[in-house]
Amino acid sequence: MARCIDCPCGHILTADDDEALFQLARQHLREHHPDMKRTDGELRARLAADARDE
């Protein structure tokens, strides 16, 4: 089983667990959305609300 979340840009981020997904999302935002300013807390809240099992 994996955890995944859709980025508004159309990317689907997939990782083994919530922590890995958080790291992946951090990296994705840094590389692809440098002007989307999200704190770690905001990002974790978004993942907690919207991440799904796959």
The size of the interface with Zn ion (CB under 5 A), counted in residues, is 4
46 C-beta neighbours (distance < 10 Å), count: 14
Q: Does residue 2 contact residue 14 with C-beta atoms inside 8 Å?
A: yes
Token reading at 24? 């992946």
Whichever of 8 and 41 has its CB closer to Zn ion, that residue is 8
CB of 19 to Zn ion, least distance (A): 19
Location of structure tokens 């704190």: 39
Residues 4-33 that bind Zn ion (CB under 5 A): 7, 9, 11, 32
Q: Which residues bind Zn ion (CB under 5 A)?
A: 7, 9, 11, 32
